[in-house]
A and B are shown apart, each in its own frame.
Chain A
């Protein structure tokens, strides 16, 4: 049981380049999330997917797109990277969207992205 996996672990991009961050979970969870963590800001929700086939904006969605490819996979795409998107990105999953009892969100190890 791998839990939540993310690829890549590290990435360096130039301004304007595009890339997709991949996330997969093997816990049969319905809901998946993308967060970014910045110094002095905590974790902020970018997008989430309550269930397969649905996606919704979180607190900081600008500059990002997401795809819920199937129940297991939820990808985050930067179409034209900017230095302000330098951050650590975490994917998470839970049984139900924003579930708060018996099963909090499970996080992946993170992707450290630098945009030059």
Chain B
């Protein structure tokens, strides 16, 4: 059973607008969450992370929000750029244990 879910397989956004990618999880023991970005024919690359002691983490244009009560996290990209077009995976772990990945959301940023 998927412990980490990304219910939107794809998302299209105009360049300059905000992209919001969502992720839900079922295991309340997860205490660390990550987002990876993947271009075609390449491996995933780490983008941003958040610990369960925080509800927000920013890195440039990327912000991750965590709502522990709803078991939900989201990745905001502002402003979106064509180079952001990729598949985004969220992942979660209990500290010191394996990461569980979502199924991915394919983001297309339209110029």
Chain B residues positioned under 8 Å from A92 (CB to CB): 43
B26 CB within 8 Å of chain A: no
The digit string for A78-116, where 1 denotes a CB below 8 A from any CB of B, is 000000000000101000011010001111111000000
CB contact under 8 A between A100 and B49, given known A4-B43, A107-B43? yes
A77 CB within 8 Å of chain B: no
Instruction: Kindly provide the distance from the CB of B68 to the nearest chain A CB, expressed in whole angstroms.
Output: 17
Chain A: which residue is nearest B45 at the CB level?
A107
Q: Is the CB of A107 within 8 A of B44?
A: yes
Chain B residues positioned under 8 Å from A106 (CB to CB): 43, 45-46
Residues on A lying within 8 angstroms of B by beta carbon are 4, 35, 40-45, 48, 58-59, 90, 92, 97-98, 100, 104-110
Please name 20 further chain A to chain B contacts, defined as beta carbons within 8 Å, in addition to the given A58-B98, A90-B43, A109-B42, sorted by A numbering: A35-B101, A42-B6, A42-B100, A42-B104, A43-B89, A43-B101, A45-B99, A98-B93, A98-B99, A100-B32, A100-B49, A104-B36, A104-B46, A105-B99, A106-B45, A106-B46, A107-B43, A108-B43, A109-B41, A110-B42
Residues on B lying within 8 angstroms of A by beta carbon are 2, 4, 6, 32, 34, 36, 41-46, 49, 89, 91, 93, 95-104
